[in-house]
Every structure is written in structure tokens, then in C-alpha cells.
């Protein structure tokens, strides 16, 4: 065996130890509390999930529930409860244009919208309660491919936090009682090179301990903030400086005596002190319209993006401090374990599962990397448009195309497609997992597959 092979085996063994330790620390065992599940990792273990199903023939379909309106927010789940948001135009059906195109056009959303929250029994799909959070003409425009309800809710098992962008941030209890609401101002990100264009706010709130973290990279005075979960009161607010508009959600790293809030970006991918909001490190040269959420795995912080001149993937060490931007001819440093200059994703958050990083691009190009070294294991093209991020369970990867085909791929360093399942509806939202059930939010339905 070569020295490189021995080194890779050793690194993979260390990864398994670290991964097992991190899983044992999670307080969310069996829950799916926010965008991409527990700690935003995108997977759940110790479950048995399906390979094949048929919506048309109701094969392995546990239930199917219609949800009005247009929304790309994902379902979140705690115990027996599934929560989802939507925005309904009271005058007309909201338009949606999917596929691979580069238009910067805004949708026509001049009608009065109802911004709603639904609580659903995850076992049978019945609506337990619904709440009207806000009613009015949207204060901000959206892209023709976006919705007015892009942000995925977050819960800690006691509170449910939902974000409707310019229409406000709301906190409910599990009985649907409104605990508090907060006007976050006009959140109207768009294409920074075309001032005045608005594409719709999409950064989902996350809950860590007793705080909510909200990233607001808007055209004027972008910022990131921590709010008290019980009251909505501001704990800290940190300027994002000259950052342009972004669309991803923040993440939290906790380990080795430190807790860091991580935000993706173009000019400033940054780590902030969880307690104070103080900037700890920053990294430049990202894609200029970053949408993917940072991922914490293997005691590393993974950031990626793809638009304009740059489409990098970075694996940042959590002890980073200061400006850690790489020189043009470097791919690693004291604080960056590995990186690639090109190959990141424009829309999808990468999936890191059992030692491998799966990076799916909007055009269907799927690349598998060794998550510890950056070595490419395979490249395959699924030849469709994708917006939803991938999830994993039971040794399987699930990728939902915009047209509604779910590709089930065996996890591992060799590409093996297990099945393709047709949802018979558009799929823009990232799915959720609870127990042995997959939950898909399509354009018109919530569908439970078991």
C-alpha cells in the first residue's frame, strides 16, 4: 500500500471518530428542526428509507396534502408535528418559471397575499392548525423562479420561528399562539450589479441555545443579528460591511471551547463570535451571488458558491482568525485545509455524508469529493435543473430536480444510481426526514413517502 493510501485510510478513520462524537452531542436526535435538519447537516442515521415509490399509483405514499399558495420553504418536524409556511395571492395564481435561464426578471406580485403558517400531523397529513401571520401586498418583489415564502422555519421543540422577509419575523408556540412578532424592515436582496432589482429574501433563521440567528445581506447596510428566542429582543447586531446581496442561511460551529456563527458571502464569508457578534475571521473570493449555506462536518467549516469569476469550495479550520483569503496560486493554508478554485454550486448547499462531500450544481453536475482531502472521486451529470439541496439517510442520497424527479443514489465513492422517482409536480424545496419517512414539499402538495 502506498504512503498516500495509508494516509487517506488514517484520515478516514479519524473522520469516523470525530463524526461519531459530533453526532452524540446533538440535542436533536430524530428531529428535523430547521433547513436541512439537525445542525443543518442534511441527513439522519439509524432509519430505513425507501428506494422506489410512485405518486401516480400511491405506492409507498403515506399521505398527500394540498397546501395553497406558492412557497419554496422546506418542512420542519418536531415529534409528531410538521410545520410549513406559504404565501397565497388572493387575486390570482402566482407564476413560477423554472429551468436553466439567466433572466433577472421580477415576478408580478401586486396582489394582496396571505402569509400563513401550517401545523400538520406528520403521521396522517391532517392540518392541526393554520395561522395568518400577515395579509397585504408584498413589500418586496421576487424573482420569477422564487416565492414570497422562501425561508424555512426553525424550532427547538417549544418555539416555532417563521420568517417572511419584509413581512416580518414571527414566533409561535406549538398550539399556534403568537408569542411575539418583529418587523425586520424591508429585506429586498437582488442582483447587486443591477440596483433596484429585487429577487426575494430567502435566508432561513436558525436557533442555537436561546438565540435566533438571522442573516440580512440586503442592498443597504447588510447585517447579521442574534435575537433572544423567548422575546425577539436584539442581543447583538453586526454590520456585514460592503457585502453584496446574498441568499444563504447562517450556520453555527460549536467545539473546542468556542461557538462561531458562520455566514456565507461574496466579499466576506465570515465567522462571528456567538456571544458578542464580533468578527473573528473573513474569507474573500466567493461567488458573487452566494446561496448555499455553510456546512459543519469533520471539525471543518465548508463554504461554497458559484457565480461570476469565482466558484470555489473551501474547507476552513475552526481556529481561523483574521483575513484568511487565499492568494491566487494557493489552495490551502494554515487555516484552510483544502479548497478548489472552480466547481462550487450556485444554488444547492453541499451534502457531506459518511466521509464524502457531494456537490450538485444547478445544471445537474454532481461531483463527489473526499471531504477531508478534496480529492475528486467521481463526476456525473444528471442532466436536469436543480434548486433543492440534497439530503441523505440509510446509505442513500436523495436529489430532487425542479421538474420533480427524485434521484436516489448510493452513498460512497463510486456513482451508483438506485432509482428515479417522479413526483408529478415541481420540486423547489429541500425535503425533510423523520423516522423512516421522507417528506417532499412540491409546488402544490406535501407528500410523505415511507
Q: Give the angle subtended at the CA of 30 by the CAs of 27 and 32, to the nearest 5°.
A: 85
Q: What is residue 132's predicted lDDT score, i.e. its pLDDT? A: 98
pLDDT of residue 110: 87
Give the Cα separation of 327 and 305 in Å (integer).
18
Across the range 55-76, mean pLDDT stands at 97
Q: Is the pLDDT of residue 93 over 70?
A: yes
At residue 23, the pLDDT reads 37
Indicate whether 359 pLDDT > 60.
yes
Under 8 Å between Cβ of 405 and 102: no
Higher pLDDT pick, 38 / 30: 38
Please state, for a pLDDT cut of 70, what percent of the chain lies above it: 94
**pLDDT tens, position by position, 388-408:** 999 999 999 999 999 999 999
Give Cα 55 distance to the centre of its chain: 25
Ranges of beta strands (E only) in 284-355 are 295-297, 300-304, 313-316, 322-323, 336-340, 351-353
- Per-residue confidence (pLDDT) for residue 28, from 0 to 100: 52
| Residue 1 pLDDT greater than 60, yes or no | no
Average pLDDT estimate for 111-119: 97
Query: What pLDDT does 29 receive?
Result: 57
Give the lowest-confidence range in 18-32, 299-313, 314-328: 18-32
Mean pLDDT of the chain: 93
What is the rounded distance in angstroms from the CA atom of residue 327 to the CA atom of residue 236? 32
Q: Is the pLDDT of residue 20 over 70?
A: no
Whether pLDDT at 412 is above 70: yes
Q: Is 403 helix (H, G, I), strand (E, B) or coil?
A: coil
Mean pLDDT confidence for 194-216: 96
3-state SS, residue 3: helix
pLDDT band at 17 (very low <50, low <70, confident <90, very high): very low
Which pLDDT band, with edges at 50, 70 and 90, does 122 fall under? very high
Enter the pTM of the model.
0.93
User: What is residue 228's predicted lDDT score, i.e. its pLDDT?
Assistant: 98
Instruction: Quote the pLDDT of residue 7.
Output: 46
Q: Which of 298, 248, 255 is nearest to 269 (CA)?
A: 248
Write down the domain spans for the chain.
17-449
CATH of domain 17-449: 2.130.10.10
Amino acid at each position: 500500500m502506498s504512503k498516500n493510501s495509508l494516509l487517506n485510510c488514517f484520515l478516514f478513520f479519524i473522520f469516523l471518530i470525530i463524526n461519531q462524537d459530533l453526532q452524540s452531542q446533538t440535542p436533536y436526535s430524530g428531529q428535523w428542526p430547521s433547513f436541512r435538519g439537525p445542525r443543518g447537516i442534511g441527513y439522519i442515521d439509524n432509519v430505513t428509507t425507501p428506494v422506489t415509490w410512485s405518486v401516480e399509483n400511491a405506492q409507498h405514499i403515506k399521505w398527500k396534502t394540498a397546501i395553497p399558495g406558492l412557497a419554496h420553504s422546506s418542512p420542519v418536524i418536531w415529534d409528531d408535528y410538521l410545520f410549513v409556511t406559504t404565501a397565497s395571492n388572493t387575486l390570482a395564481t402566482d407564476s413560477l418559471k423554472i429551468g436553466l435561464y439567466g433572466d433577472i426578471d421580477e415576478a408580478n406580485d401586486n396582489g394582496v397575499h396571505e402569509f400563513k403558517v401550517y401545523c400538520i400531523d406528520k403521521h396522517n397529513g391532517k392540518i392541526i392548525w393554520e395561522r395568518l401571520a400577515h395579509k397585504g401586498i408584498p413589500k418586496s418583489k421576487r424573482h420569477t423562479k422564487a416565492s414570497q415564502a422562501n425561508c424555512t422555519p426553525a424550532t427547538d421543540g417549544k418555539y416555532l420561528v417563521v420568517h417572511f422577509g419584509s413581512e416580518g419575523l414571527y414566533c409561535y408556540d406549538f398550539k399556534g399562539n403568537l408569542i411575539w412578532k418583529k418587523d425586520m424592515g424591508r429585506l429586498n436582496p437582488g442582483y447587486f450589479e443591477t440596483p433596484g432589482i429585487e429577487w426575494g429574501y430567502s435566508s432561513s433563521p436558525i436557533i442555537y441555545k436561546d438565540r435566533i440567528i438571522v442573516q440580512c445581506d440586503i442592498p443597504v447596510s447588510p447585517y447579521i443579528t442574534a435575537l433572544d428566542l423567548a422575546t425577539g429582543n436584539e442581543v447583538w447586531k453586526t454590520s456585514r460591511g460592503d457585502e453584496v446581496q446574498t441568499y444563504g442561511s447562517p450556520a453555527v460551529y460549536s467545539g473546542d471551547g468556542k461557538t462561531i456563527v458562520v455566514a456565507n458571502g461574496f466579499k466576506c464569508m465570515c465567522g462571528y463570535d456567538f456571544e458578542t457578534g464580533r468578527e473573528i475571521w473573513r474569507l474573500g473570493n466567493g461567488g458573487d451571488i452566494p446561496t448555499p449555506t455553510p456546512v459543519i462536518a469533520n471539525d471543518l467549516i465548508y463554504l461554497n458558491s458559484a457565480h461570476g469569476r469565482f466558484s470555489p469550495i473551501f474547507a476552513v479550520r475552526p481556529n481561523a482568525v483574521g483575513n484568511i483569503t487565499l492568494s491566487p496560486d494557493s489552495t490551502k493554508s494554515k487555516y484552510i485545509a483544502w479548497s478548489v478554485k472552480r466547481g462550487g454550486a450556485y444554488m444547492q448547499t453541499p451534502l457531506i455524508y459518511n466521509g464524502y462531500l457531494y456537490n450538485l450544481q444547478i445544471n445537474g453536475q454532481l461531483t463527489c469529493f473526499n471531504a477531508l482531502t478534496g480529492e475528486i472521486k467521481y463526476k456525473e451529470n444528471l442532466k436536469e435543473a436543480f434548486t433543492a439541496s440534497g439530503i441523505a439517510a440509510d446509505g442513500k442520497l436523495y436529489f430532487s430536480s425542479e421538474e420533480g424527479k427524485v434521484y436516489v443514489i448510493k452513498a460512497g465513492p463510486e456513482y451508483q444510481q438506485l432509482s428515479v422517482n417522479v413526483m408529478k409536480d415541481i420540486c423547489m424545496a429541500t425535503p425533510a426526514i423523520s423516522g423512516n419517512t421522507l417528506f417532499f414539499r412540491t409546488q402544490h402538495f406535501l407528500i410523505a413517502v415511507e
